[in-house]
Structures are given as C-alpha cells and as structure tokens.
Amino acid sequence: MSIAPHPPEHSGSPAAAPATGVGFARDLASWGARRALVHAGRVVSYADLARLVDDRAARLGPVRRLVLLEMASDVDSVATYLAALAGGHPVVVVDAARPDVVAATRAAYDPDVVARGDVLDEQRDGTAHDLHPELAALLSTSGSTGSPRLVRLSAENLQANAESIAAYLPLRGDDLAALSLSLHYCYGLSVLHTHLLRGAGVLLGDASVVDPCFWAAAREHGATSLAGVPHTFELLDRVGLDTVAPDSLRYLTQAGGAMAPDRVRSYAELGQRRGFDLFVMYGQTEATARMAYLPPDLAGTRPGAIGVPVPGGRFDLAEVPGAPEGTGELVYEGPNVMLGYAEHPDDLARGREVTRLRTGDLARRGDDGLWEVVGRLSRTAKVLGLRIDLDRVERALVADGVRALVAGTPPTDGATEQLVVAVEPRATGGSARLVARVRRLVTALTGLPAAAVQVHPVPQLPRLANGKPDHRGVAALAAPAPERATTAATGVRDVLGEVLGRPVGDDDTFAGLGGDSLTYVETSVRLEEALGHLPADWHLRTVAELEAGTTTRTRRGRGVETNVVLRAVAIVAVVGTHADLFTLLGGAHLLLALAGFNLARFALGDVTRRERVQRLLTAAARVVVPAVLWIGGTALLLGAYPWQTALLVNGFLGPPGWTEPAWHHWFVEALVLLVLGVAALVAVPVLDRTERRWPFWFPVALTLLALLTRYELVPLPDGDVIHRAPVVAWLLTLGWAVARARTTGHRLVVSALAVLTVPGFFADDARSAAVIVGLLLLTWSRQVRLPGLLARLAATLAGASLYIYLTHWQVYPHLEDDLPALATLLSLVVGVAVWRAVTTTERRLRR
C-alpha cells in the first residue's frame, strides 16, 4: 500500500475544538422503538441502545480521551464503541479474542481508557495525548501481524462511507443483517454502520455460518442479509446455503478479497432462483471500508470485475513501468480516504495526509466501464480475508533462527489463497519438528488457522540467477487441493474428533460440538499438551482460533484449570474419607458447585433457548443413564439398594434420615434434579432473556432465593437436610455465578456469599472450611501449574469423577478395615477403568 502525499494540516491540540462525533452514532434515539441489535435472544431497540450509549458516554466524560476497545460481537461492546464515536473520543478497535494484540497495542499507544464490554478501565482522568479534532477511530488493516501501525479515520470518513454503501444497497428500516464477521474488522464495522444509519437491525453473535444455531437465530428473527469474505462462501458451500437460508433473505454482500469467478457466478445464479441479490464489493481499511461494488445484475456475466466506484468516489490509474497497456496502479479518491497512518502516539495529533489512495493493486478498466483488478504490486497476500505482510513474516522467522522464504498463492479453481513457507532444515532436529515449529510461529504471528499455512522443507531456498529470493518458486511449491485436504488435519481437530467422536471443522467449537463437563477435562489437558497454552475460554473458540493462538511452552510444568484440580481433589476426598484413610468432608458439596460452574460454561452459552434446553437435558441424561444402569444393576444383582435409590427419587420417597445404603447416591440425585431445574428455568422465554441480560446477577439472585431453603425459611420435611436437592441448590447456583464473574467486583460478591453462607450449614467447621477454600480458589484462580505427571493424574481423576463416585461404594468396604490406603487406591482405579470403558464404547458408537 502506498499513499499520495498531502500537506499535513495543522496538528490538534488540547485547546482545539472538540470533535462533534459521528452522525449515525449520535442519532440513534431518532429511530425510537425500531429493532437495533439482536444478541443471544435479546432484542435491543434503538431507544434502549441510545440510553446505553448515553450512559457509557457520560462515563467516558466530556474531555476527549483515547479509548482502546477490546471489541467483541455483543451489545455492550457495540454500545461502548458508539459512545466513543458519539462523544468524539478516538477509539482504537482491537480483537478481544487476541490478548497478544491487545497488549501490544496498549503498550504502543498508552490509551487513556481501556474498555471491554461495559467495563471502563480508566488509566487517567484526562488525556495524555494530543488528539486531532477530526480523529474518530483507529483500525488495524484487515490482517494484523502485530504491527503498531493503524489506520487513522475521521468522523467524516465513517459517516461518508456508511452513506455511500447505504446508497447502493437495498437497505430498509426493517432489515436485519446476520453478522458472522468480527466487529474489529472494518468490513464487520461497515455492516454495523450502514444499518445504524438507516435504522435497521444487526444480529450479533460468535457463531459461524456452519453452526446450526447461526441459522436458527437468522430464521427466528427474520434476517434479510448476510455479509461474508471468500472463506465464508467456502463454508456456505459445505452447509448448502440453499437449504439453510431463511426465506426472508434478500441480499448477500462479499468483500475481504477476490472470490473465484465461478463461485461468484454460482451464488448469483442461486440468488436468481431463491430471490436474493449478490453484491460483490472491493475495499480496504485505508478507504474506511468500500471503494467499489459490482451491481448484482452483472455478477453472473462479469464475475471477475470489482465493478464501479461507490457513490462519491472515483478511480484513476497511476503509471507502472513495464505494465501492459491500459493497466496501472489503481488509485482511489473520495471522502472515505483515511487521514493517514499512525505508528506512534505522536501521530494522533496529525491531520489529513492523504487525498489519493494508491491501492497497490494492478487494475484496468474494461470497455463496459467496469474496473478489474489483475494483480498486486506489493508483497502482501490476502488469506481468508486477512491481509498479510509477507516480508514481515519472513523477517520474524529469520529473527527466530529459521531460514525461510514466504509467498502467497492466488485463488485457483475456487480454492482460498494460502501462505507457502519454504524452509531449510537444520543439520539436526529433523524436518517434521521444524515444519510443526514454523507452522506454530506463522499462525501465532498472522492469526491464520494452521490449515491455511503450507510449510515445505527444501535442500536450499530457491534463488533467482541474480541471487535474489525466488518467491514465485516458493509459491510453486504449493500442494494441490487434494493434498492440502490430506495434510490439513491438526492436533486440535484430532483431539476434539477423538474425544467427542464427531467430525470437526475449522469453525467448530468444543461447546458447539456438544462437549460438556464430562468430556472437557480430557480435552483441555490434551489440547494444552498440543498447544503449549490454553486460554480460559478455549471451549468457545473455533478450531481455527485455537490453532492461531498456538504457542510454545516457556514455563515449567503444565497449566491445568483450577476446577479440574478441584474435581480431582474432591473425589479423592470423598473416597479417602469413606475408606477411613483420612477425614476430609465436603468433597461432594464442592462437586455440586463445580457442576454449576461447568453448566454455565457449556450448557448456557450464546446459543438459542431451545439449544440451551437441549444441552441441559443432554447433560442430565449423561448422568442419569450410567447412574441408573449401575445402581439398578447392583440392586438387582447384589440387592444393594432400594428401588427409590436406583430411580434417583430417594430424597422424596426414601427414608427421611440418613440410612445406608439408601442415601449413598444423594449427590447424583441432587445433581440430576438441579440440572433439570435449570433446564425448566431457561425454557421460560422471559427468564432466558433475563439471564442473557444479566448473566452474573441472575445466578446471584437464584442463589439468594435458594438460601431460603438453606436457612429453613421455607418449611421442609424433617430428616436428612444437607443431602437434599432443594437445600443444596444454592451451591450449584453459586458455582454458576462464579463462572459468570468477570470483574473484581463480581468476584468479591461471590466470595462474600461463600464466606457468609457456608458456615453453619455443616455441623463441622473443617467441612465448611474445605468448601469455602474450594470456592475461593475457583473464583480467584482459573488455572494452576502442575508437573506433567501430576497434571495428567488430576485430569484423569476429574474426568472419571462421576464413575468413581458411582462405583466406589462397591469397592472400598471390602478393604477399609485393614487396608484403607489400598481401599482408596483400588476404588479410584476401578472408577477410572469403568470410565475408560464407557467413553471408549461411546466414541466407537458415535463413529
């Protein structure tokens, strides 16, 4: 990318007139009760959004400050973004899912406010920066390799480009865009901007277009448009847009890189049959978003063209020596051209430095007036919609001691462009290890999934006759499509496929594939082994995102989630106490809190209400089936249990006081009943919406309500109290609240609830202390590091905890009097063996 220079305007200063803000962000209230945003079943009107924005703007204050926003696809992130735009606060938009990029940007620009959702972390009262009056937003170019260089956009840029896009798209006030694009990306933001400009709605969420819940929400809310990059349309090929698209769909938009003409033509023809239009668009972050579009009636006959300039813009060609006649560098002019780049906080005071944007693309104008891009001038590649600086990747590899050359492959036969890396293996270490290492480095640097990076060991790096790197020779190493399909399998995909017994794609997540608390332990430990690091929200990240975040382990030991360690400790405490090896009570009650923690993470995710209920019922079934089979089997064969215990109704129909063996499985019974209770709650639309609106305070309120039975304010039948589901429900909801605690204030609230409510519940101070300590550890420390062997042992015991609990009653009594240590060890071993047998059988049946 090169830019035509423009004399710098006078720098901004603290005394400069404050920016007036961006029009579409200021005028939200004018659209009244119209639908603005839809997220996780919650519909936010323009009036509601305006109130959220006004509140957030008041918190930002009247003094213009530099805001760094960790952008996610949710209502709070959008409200904070719009508050910054409306109040004239320059906002740096970064991906909330990339903590490395967040940290690098924060270090480079020293923001005055760091925002994540509705949390504003103020670094200072005023500003440390000289902010130009026109500066409104700073965005990374569509692909980031960790460079601090940002695009400086003005309020005029944002407003003008939104108006020009809305002028050629058939936008209506009742439209709803189903957004699968990230909002830190200029394309995703442009969809938001244009719809807000016209008083239309946007359906937010993290689901991919291959996720059934994406289309369920699109159908439920009547989505009328879908925006995608070329990779999005490849995914649509897999799911079959013709079969999943709602009848309300009126048009598609495509940008973010050139899409193969055959695919353009195919979707244009599908649109003719189904009644929707396809708008192919061309743009760059440096032009705010869009520079050209192809009218939909030409998509079938001119699928290789970028079309005509957007309203208010114009194209020209700059001469390129040696280029064919009629071909030159495409140059764009219009009100949406950026102010310039920023690489340092001092650049934030600079005004307009660009009027003519040299795109770096070789182009020509056809006889019919349509513009076509025929090549690139610079060393960049666009892969899956991300623009990658190939030279920067090369330099990073060399700096890491790898002799390598990097090239990009253009789309052929509809295949997505990929990165191709040629490497010279060292004398020692082996090619396979080097290939894996280079792929990890490149994916971490670029944010690309591993499947988009080909690494080829070569005896010598290809060179031209003059000794310069032969990048065309590197590109020629690219494997053909069938071979790519064979080599695309990754460690992440293999682990998920093996544990869950299902086919896995780049856009699948552990939670979306049906993972739950019974399978996540083994999955998390194996992924940590494969990746070297596992983020706290790994279960919600796609395979591609997990691959992109791959890092090498630099610390000793292995990171294990705290709740995994606590599950292992709790089940050992249960078995060891029962076998008289030691006395450490409270393990089963702590397991209930951990169950609530995991229900919130896996079953109560950002999916439809029906999907939530289905996941909860599935979770209950995965406990009920083995429990009834085991308890019922031992009852029939050994006469061990009454029928009330075998059917998990002992708490209601069994003896009122603790009677062995009738009450042995109180924990399993309570767990199942409480999970079914949560399913009944979220099945009620108003309660489901309330939980989504207040994800932390909803389980806190449930905990306070459940304390009525814990403190016997609601009369219950006499007998054993601390083992009945209605009385222990507050522990499960408290664990749920811990999972939703996102701020220090939230953690203090759940900590206070634990410290204040657990004492007195048991007639044993040590038991109370054990439960409190477990809850506090779960609240304040999400991960601990353990030696590799101990980490694996903890994961195994945690994963097998249900089966250990079920089976240990039939093992330890035979040895507890004389050999309590052996009784404990054998109980654990038998439970693990049964768990392994069940999971292996289950995976085979799934396959």
> CA–CA separation, 771 vs 810, rounded Å?
26
pLDDT for the residue numbered 532:
58
Q: Is 222 in a helix, a strand, or coil? A: coil
Cis preceding linkage at 661, omega within 30: yes
Can you give the CATH number for the domain in which 107 is found?
3.40.50.12780
pLDDT range class, residue 553, cuts 50, 70, 90:
very low
Q: What is the pLDDT of residue 11?
A: 39
Return d(Cα 281, Cα 305) in angstroms, integer. Answer: 9
Q: How confident is the model at residue 555 (pLDDT cuts 50, 70, 90)?
A: very low
Higher pLDDT, 602 or 67: 67
- Of residues 720 and 347, more confidence is placed in 347
Asked whether the beta carbons of 288 and 157 are under 8 A apart, the reply is yes
- Residues 517 and 636 both lie in one domain: no
pLDDT reported for residue 534 = 66
Q: Are residues 354 and 428 in the same domain?
A: no
Amino acid at 212: P
Inform me whether the pLDDT recorded for 365 exceeds 80. yes
Which is it for strands 91-95 and 135-139: parallel, antiparallel or unpaired? parallel
State residue 14's pLDDT score. 38
Inform me whether the pLDDT recorded for 530 exceeds 70. Answer: no
Dmax (CA) of the chain:
95
Task: Please classify residue 147 by burial: count the beta carbons closer than 10 Å to its beta carbon, then call 0-12 exposed, 13-18 middle and 19+ buried.
Answer: middle
Tell which of 527, 554, 581 closes a domain.
554
Instruction: State which of 533, 554, 575 marks the end of a domain.
Output: 554
Q: What is the pLDDT of residue 744?
A: 87
Q: Report how many domains make up the chain.
A: 4
My answer on whether 520 and 664 are in the same domain is: no
Residues 369 and 394 in one domain: no
**The tokens 């448009």 sit on which residue?**
225
Residue 824 has what pLDDT?
A: 94
Whether 19 and 113 map to the same domain: the answer is yes
Report whether pLDDT(417) > 90.
no
pLDDT class for 529, splitting at 50, 70, 90? low
Domain that includes residue 584, residue range: 562-846
Boundary-marking domain end, from 433, 455, 487: 487
What confidence tens digit (pLDDT) does each residue in 125-174 have?
999 999 999 999 999 874 444 467 899 999 999 999 999 999 999 999 99
> Are 536 and 574 contained in the same domain?
no
Domain shared by 544 and 685, yes or no = no
484-519 confidence digits (pLDDT tens): 333 333 467 777 776 766 667 666 677 667 676 666
- pLDDT per residue over 176-222, tens digit each? 999 989 899 899 999 999 999 999 999 999 888 988 889 999 999 99
Same domain (yes/no): 474, 534: no
- pLDDT tens digits, residue range 713-752? 887 776 677 888 999 999 999 999 999 897 889 999 999 9
The confidence score (pLDDT) of residue 12 equals 39
Give the per-residue pLDDT at 377: 75
The residue with greater pLDDT, 657 or 682, is: 682
Please provide the average confidence, as pLDDT, over all residues in the chain. Answer: 85
Q: Are residues 760 and 799 in the same domain?
A: yes
pLDDT at 829 over 70: yes
Tokens 């270490």 belong to residue: 429
pLDDT score, position 16: 38
Read off the amino acid at residue 542.
T
**Confidence at residue 230, expressed as pLDDT on a 0 to 100 scale:** 83
